[in-house]
Amino acid sequence: MNNVLSDNWVLSGTNIDDFNDEIKNLDERTFIKECQMKDLNFVDVSEDRTLSLLSPLANFEDPNNNFYTDQAEMEYDFFKDKYDDDVIHQMIENAFALTDDVLFNKTQDITPISVHAMQSIKTRVKISGYGFDNYKHVRNLCIVPNFKKEEKINVILRKDMDITLPSGDHPSKVFAIMSDQYSYIPQNIMTTIYNRLSREGKEDGLGEVVCTNWKIANDVTSLYLEFPDSSKKINETYEKVEKLNLDLSVGILLEASDIGYSSFKINGYVKNNDTNSIIRLGKEYKQVHRGEIALSEAVNVIRNEIFPEFSYVPERLAELLSIDIAKDKDEKTKVKTISNLYNKLIKYMDLNSIMGKKRMKSLIDTLIAGINPTENYTAYDIATQMMNVCDLVEEKETVLDSFSRNAILALKFDYKEFLSE
């Protein structure tokens, strides 16, 4: 079941109207609870379904300390009236929940805490590391004393509006615990920006705007918008350049997270339609959750800073066509030079960090094995190969996302300086 309170809940598509409807639904079931840190009562959830109300006075230095003020057997049927099995199992796996009920062991009024919330909780208590992520019951005991402060916080809750409890409320789950500096930015700001660009695009040169992909999850939302008219102009400009066979699309990626995973960001990108690989460009609009988004400022960044960058990729590729790599060298020297260049680019693009040293070792072996010493290589050949290196292996979406941020470095690398060394 794709339950809206599940940590794994996700929707995706290509239709902008569907995106508008779903992002509106997400905003409407997101609630902010302002309170003091000391007002939260945490519950440890064990694998045998024992619920333990954690003592705010937990102290590892006191051997006589009782870490729990109350314990109760988890009434599974009680939870099944509110949550599906997926959400219940996630609560047991994360081993952490909240309760507002003083009569803890009688009513068991429990609110699960999402694994997505743990990043923000780390920030609140200034505790992190291997133990935090892997020894959950000890982690919980460490967290609770650090929450007994008179410090304002914002608890981010999502609710399942399709279920109404006898109290009139709806089942909820904690997805973040943010500081009092946090300012909620409704994610439908993406819809507002799309509508503004669609309305004004033809007037200011951006042209038609189309949605090509979107994804909404409980942690991060992303929306891909492309400009077909601008893409056509760029492709037509460079189609006469010999060997520069381009089929590019230009667009912007809007990303947001209302639970602290990401600021609201807008990046320009160029997509190779032959491989679907994306190169993120350098300019970026960014707004942290510390105030309202200035819509006009965001649109102006798109027009005046991001949009002019779209021509950089084809311009730079055209330049790289004129840079020969080890031309007129003997075959052994050519292979050595290109191999060294691959290694330089891997370091320059930080691919070991993105893909892992073991994976990159295999990839570099594949790249070197593919060198044909009888052919002439240009910097264009090497750069395009490095920008599409993920095509050689199946990678997770998170890796592809990180790689798209660094792919531009294959173009920015100074090939002439490398050849002069």
Task: Read off the pLDDT of residues 217-237 as tens digits, 9 standing for 90 and up.
Answer: 999 999 999 999 999 988 888
CA distances from 260 to 45, 117, 294, 378 (A): 25, 9, 19, 43
Do 233 and 118 fall within a single domain? no
| Same domain, yes or no: 254 and 355 | no
Regions in the chain scoring below 50 on pLDDT? 1, 57-60, 102-108
149 with 212, same domain: the answer is no
**Cβ–Cβ under 8 Å, residues 324 and 354:** no
What DSSP string runs through 63-79? TT---EEEEEE--HHHH
Give domain status of residue 25, yes or no. Answer: no
Domain membership flag for residue 22: no
Q: Are residues 301 and 353 in the same domain?
A: no
Question: 5 in a domain, yes or no?
Answer: no
Query: Does residue 309 sit in the same domain as residue 333?
Result: no
**pLDDT for 153:** 93
The answer on 175 and 50 residing in a single domain is yes
Given a contact cutoff of 8 angstroms between Cβ atoms, the answer to whether 121 and 135 are in contact is no
Helix spans in 147-183 (H): none
Containing structural domain, residue 49: 30-179
- Answer whether 317's CB lies under 8 Å from 244's CB: yes
Q: Quick check: is 10 in a domain?
A: no
- Tell me, yes or no, whether 20 lies in a domain: no
| Counted domains in the chain | 3
The pLDDT value given to residue 71: 64
Domain check: are 108 and 164 in the same one? Answer: yes
Residues 124, 44, single domain; the answer is yes
Do residue 364 and residue 275 come from a single domain? no
302 and 208 fall within a common domain: yes
Same domain, 38 and 166: yes
- Residue 255 in any domain: the answer is yes
Residue 253, beta-bridge partner list: 224, 267
Last residue within a domain, chosen from 155, 179, 203: 179
Same domain? 37 vs 175 = yes
The 10s digit of each residue's pLDDT in 123-164 is 999 888 887 888 888 888 888 888 888 899 999 999 999 988
Tell me the CA distances in angstroms from 105 to 48, 97, 201, 239, one per residue in order: 16, 14, 60, 73
At 107 the pLDDT is 44
Give just the sign of the alpha carbon dihedral 130, 133, 137, 143: positive
- Please state, in angstroms and rounded to a whole number, the distance separating the CA atoms of residues 88 and 27: 23
Among 121, 144, 179, which residue terminates a domain?
179
Residue 3, in any domain of the structure: no
Query: Which of these three, 319, 349, 368, is where a domain ends?
Result: 319
